[in-house]
Structure formats: C-alpha cells, structure tokens
Structure 1
C-alpha cells in the first residue's frame, strides 16, 4: 500500500531494513538480531556467576545501487543464580543494543536499541544434554530507525556439550504487542533459528554455524515478509578466564532484504565471578560441568 514519506523518514526506514532489526511499512524484521546466539550452548546451564557477554557485528548487504552497512553491538549481563525452580537453574539476562546503519551509501545513523529483560530456566538432563526456556521482553524506545514497539521473546534451546562438542539449536519466537508503530511501521511476529556445531581442541574451538529467520503472517495489509538463511564458520579461543569467538556468515537465501549480506561477528565472554567448582579447565566456552 503506497504512502507518502519525507526524505528523512525514507532514510530511516531504509536503514532499518539494512539492519534487519526493524521494519518499514512494507517490510518486516525480527526484534532479535538473527544469528546473535550462534556459538553459545544456550541449552546448557551456566556455572553460577555473573558474566558480561558482548557481541559486536558488522555487515554489508549488496543492495542496489550502493551497499548498505550496519554495525550492531549487543552487550549482555548474564546472572546464573544458585537457585533452582522446577529442577532447573534460574538465570537472568539484560541486553542493551547499540546500532548504527548506512542505507545504500547514505550517512550513518546511530542510536540505542530496545533493551531486553529476560529470565531463563535451564535443565541438566544428564549425559551432557541440556534444554532451556527463556522468556523476556523488548522494551519500547523512540529510536526511529530501529524497532520501537514492545515485544515478547520466547526461546527454546537444546544443547549437547559432551566430548568437547557444542551442538546447539535455539528457536526464537517473537510476538509484538502492537502490530504498528506510531509512525505506521508494520511489525510482524517472527521466528529465528540459530544453529551451532563446533568442537574444542585444547583451548581452541572451531566449527560451523548457521541461522535462519522469517516474518510470520500478519493478516494486515499486503506486507512483503522478510527472511534469510545464512551459514559460516566459527573459531574461538579460551584465554582463561576470558573467551573470544569470531565467526563469519553469508546469506545463502534472502527474501525482501534487497540483497545477500556478509557479516563478521566478534564475541567476548568475561566472567566477573564464577563458582569454580562448576567450571571445567581449558573449555573453549563458558558452560556448566555436565553430570557424569
């Protein structure tokens, strides 16, 4: 459905499409950045402690006539408590995104993204298998080139972390509380799937990662739903106690984003304190010691 917008508004909507974190009146995207959890054993219990996990990524999308670029930073505080609920470890997360984008060669826009507040239950099933459920919410903001409306986030993960492996699938389901922003931007609900298959060799960790995302039907107007499938490789190193991970992904399928994206990612995991009795030596990831 056509509409009239100012040049500034068009730039803002185009930048949002470049980020893949927001949507225009004709296009949508997830509140959670697709691919943001790959490389982590999100189904496993963290050792009791407090952590800073910072993920920074830079991507270039092959839009016409000029490329679109975006930088997304996702600093997260994670608190793994000593408390159990329904035989699961209770864990809390706070994420405050900061993003910048340039759409088709336009000047960069930058701003604060939606903070995420979430709680997670993580079950240790034995035999190095863990499952988790996370429930949280993205709070509303007024940064116009990013998603503005509040939404709920459900995440279901399963991980195998035996023999140095990290085999993880994390399904993210986002549900917007309002279908449109005050500016008329349409926000469809979404599904993201983040996949990890890595193995550690001493302090090193290498393997493959992939992720997919898709907008869900809205029943409103005639939106052009966005979607993508990306794949790549990951390498990590445990400096003890800080762990670094880097991965590179490339879209193999994209729908209504304007072109495929290549994105580089860098993650730092910094424990402020840990229950050392639960931490395995020389692990390339921060995970709880699984039961024998």
Structure 2
C-alpha cells in the first residue's frame, strides 16, 4: 500500500479551477494533493492517475456546482540527480462549472507539464520539489487567463503504514490576458494528510487551505473580484488497495472562508500502474 501511494504522490495533481479563475488564490485547486505522500520518491515506471472531484459552493443566493476531472500520466524516470528520483508529469484537466442564474460552462482547463525530484532521507522521511507550468491555453469559460509557474515543496513520513504529509504549493502568474484587465493574483495552497493503513485499507483525514498575497482587496474589487480569497477545509479519507490498482475517496467541507462561499466536496482517485522495468533505476549523477 505504501509503495503504491508513493506512485500516486507523483501523479495525482488534481488541477482544478475556482469559479472566477482570474481571482483564484492559485491556479492549482486547493486540496489536489491531499491524501498523497507528496514528499516520497517512487519506483521507476509509467502510471495513469485520474482524480475527480465534485462540490457545491454555498454562495449568497444560488449555489455554484463545480466538477473537475483530471486524467494524468506520470513517468518516474530511470535517472537520479544527486540521489533524487526524477519524475515527469503531464495532465489535461476538464472542468464543468454550473454557476448561479443559469451560467453553465464546460471545457478544458489549463494543461499542465512539470518536473519533480524526490529524495529518500531514510527512516521513512522524504522531501520533494516540483516545478511546472500551467499554460495559458484552454477554454476561456473555465481556464485561468494567464500562464502560471507552480512550485511544490513537500515533506512526508511514510513508515509503519503512516502517511503524514505537508505540501506547500506556490503559484505565480504572468502573461495575463488583457481580457481580464492584465491582473491576476498569486497565492499559496497548503495540503495536509494524516492517514494509516490497516492491511489493504487506508483510513485518516485530510485538510487544505489557500490564500492570496499580492493584490490588495480594493484593487481586486475594482476589477470585479470579491477581495482576497482565503479558505480552509477538512474531512475524512478512506482508501483500498485492490492489488496493482488503488482507490481513494474523501469528503471535505469548509471550516473557514473569507470572500468565498463554503465548499463541500467529494473526491475520488484511481491509480493504475501501466508499466515498470525489470531492472532498478540507475543514477544519472552519483553523489560522492
């Protein structure tokens, strides 16, 4: 179970959207890596990961319903750099946003391409760094109208069936379309995991939050936004290992929100190993 969850950690970046993308705290959906050992290395191979979420945002007046589906391919390469496992990730998310007053949008979100390096520090402790780009393409009704540079800083403890993980996601936008006033905000997401495996079962809890830090409230409101968005949500998670395939499910709800409606969301995730080599990976650069 721990081995397969390490696989999932590299792949399942559920690349969601806010209902007003230009004013989101970050291009990455808050909670997208919750439930995964994002700081751990993983075995060489090719993996398919699909992450799905559906939720209701409790706005004043009519609610907003948001569905996100992310098919993703993760390649854990045969190379190491200074002892770190090198990985390549690519995803093309789909979004369906059912907004208030009949607003309904469906299409491709910003496609994502990233590289990641993960280190095993021993004793079940791992750390990783991810650098990737959300490209400024996709359907205008659901995508963020900017290019975003995303960086992840993760730490995981995975001994004795535990998954204790914190992953800080930093989003910086640029190349913003003039159609949204040439301004998009930057922000941080923090995804947290505390789960334990019992045989084939995994049980625990997840939490995640987000905040913006650069555009003042007044400037955001003058551009049509609600002011700086801050959120935090928690909920239970359960998973089951069917062998080569793992399933996860979670239900989260907001316990804090500022300038955003409370969000209740169902999550599901499937991890399928597609290919693995017979030989162990060889280091690209050996550290002496």
TM-score (norm 1): 0.83
Change (3 A) 1:19 1:78: closer
Instruction: Name the structure 2 match of 1:195.
Output: 192
What are the equivalent positions in structure 2 for 1:120-131 lying under 5 Å apart? 120-131=116-127
* 2:266 counterpart of 1:264: yes
Separation (CA, whole Å) in 2 of partners of 1:53 and 1:89? 19
Detail structure 1 runs of 4+ shifted over 4 Å in the superposition. Answer: 275-278
CA distances 1:24-83 after superposition (whole Å, capped 9, x unpaired): 5xx433210110001110100111111111100001011121111010112111111110
Equivalent in the alignment of 2:64: 68
CA displacement 1:222-254 (0-9 Å, x = unmatched): 221111000001000000111000001001111
**What SS does the aligned partner of 2:244 have?**
coil
2:148 aligns with one of 147, 151, 165: 151
- Aligned equivalents of 1:66, 1:273: Cα separation in 2: 46
Residue 51 (structure 1) aligns with:
47
1:231 corresponds to: 234
Q: How many residues align?
A: 258
Give the SS at the match of 2:31: coil
1:136 to 109, 129, 132: 132
Q: Kindly state the Cα deviation for residue 130 of structure 1 after the two structures are TM-superposed.
A: 0.5
**Pick from 238, 242, 245: which aligns with 1:242?**
245
For structure 2, list consecutive stretches of 5 or more residues without a partner in the other structure: 1-15, 221-226, 281-288
> TM-score, normalization: structure 2?
0.85
> What SS class does the counterpart of residue 222 from structure 1 fall into?
helix
Aligned to 2:183: 186
Structure 2: distance between partners of 1:108 and 1:191: 28
Choose 101-110 or 177-186, whichever is displaced more.
Answer: 177-186
How large is the RMSD of aligned CA atoms in angstroms?
2.0
What's the counterpart of residue 37 of structure 2? Answer: 41
